[in-house]
Amino acid sequence: MVFCDTHIHLLAPEWIEPAQRRIETAADSGIELLLQPGVRSGDWDKLIDLAQRHQTVYAAPGLHPMSAAEWNASRSARLRELCCLSEVIALGEIGLDALLDVDPQLQEQAFSGQVEIAIAAGLPVLIHCRKKIGQVLGILRQSGVGKVGGILHGFSGSVETARQATELGLLVGVGPVLLRENTRRLPEVVKAIPAAALVLETDAPDMATGPEVLIEVAEKVAELRGWTLAETAKITTANARRILKL
Residues that bind Zn ion (CB under 5 A): 203
Integer CA distances (angstroms), 162 to 63, 133, 186, 223, in order: 24, 10, 10, 20
C-beta closer to Zn ion: residue 87 or 203? 203
Nearer to Zn ion, 203 or 212 (CB): 203
Residue nearest to Zn ion (CB): 203
| Shortest spacing between CB 230 and Zn ion, in angstroms | 28
Quote the CA–CA distance of 156 and 179 in Å, as a whole number. 12
Q: Are 109 and 68 contacting, i.e. CB atoms less than 8 angstroms apart? A: yes
Minimum distance of Zn ion from residue 203's CB (angstroms): 5
Contact present, 193 and 166 (Cβ < 8 Å): yes
Whether residue 93 is preceded by a cis peptide bond, meaning omega within 30 degrees of 0, is: yes
Residue number, 217 or 222, with CB nearest to Zn ion: 217
> What spatial distance separates the first Cα and last Cα of the chain, rounded to whole Å?
17
Question: Closer to Zn ion at the Cβ: 5 or 203?
Answer: 203
The CB-of-39 to Zn ion minimum distance in angstroms stands at: 7
Minimum CB separation of residue 153 from Zn ion in Å reads 6
